[in-house]
Structure 1
Amino acid sequence: MRTNTDPFQALADPGRRAILMMLSQNRQSINTIAGNFDISRPAVSKHIKVLYEAGLVQIKDSGRERYCELNPDGFNEVKKWLDYFDQFWRTKLQNLEDLLNQQHKTK
């Protein structure tokens, strides 16, 4: 479930980015994730909550454990933003290449 947490705000924290990198390998329990950080489990849980509210992770209960995994659809807004600037720079570089080729041909 996604609330109004901005995915860019969620990605701004290096600890949350580290959690996402861990989850890119495979789903993990909150306890396993917490074991990789030198902060309290409640602090890790708060980071996971921010990622969850931004739609970047899903949390699923399995017995007494809660497992986190990446939510691929949660990255759509970020991907769209990055794609825009990727295309922007490709166009700028193509224009530069075209200009340089024209200058080279006129010499």
Structure 2
Amino acid sequence: MRKFVLPVLVALALTACQAETPEPDAGYGLAGYNPKASESEKAACEAQGGEFRAAGLGGFMTCFTTPKDAGKSCSKSTDCSSNICLARSRSCSPVTPLFGCNDILDADGRQVSLCVD
């Protein structure tokens, strides 16, 4: 009888130590995952006049916008609303975000390279 009771008591004790299983977030299989996120992001992007399309090596969907001062002459990054002054043309970035490697002017007007993927 002892051989039967001891394992049962140990099993009951271990069962009491089990953590509660968290409920899935918002009914989705992965916490925080929302399958309709890209639809709402696309709508928000288009509402601000942007274009929602794949970008970078990863191909993630990104909202591209044209800054109001695109092409304006600049001598440092703070001259542009996007904070990106292209070094070669000394003009504000024509689009944000600006993917790839580009020579830009920093806040002090020094030329630096910026690579974004």
Same fold (TM over 0.5): no
TM bin (shorter chain): under 0.3
| TM norm structure 1 | 0.23
The higher relative CO (CA closer than 8 Å, separation ≥ 6) is in: 1
More strand by share: 2
More helix by share: 1
Higher-Rg member (1/2): 2
| TM norm structure 2 | 0.21
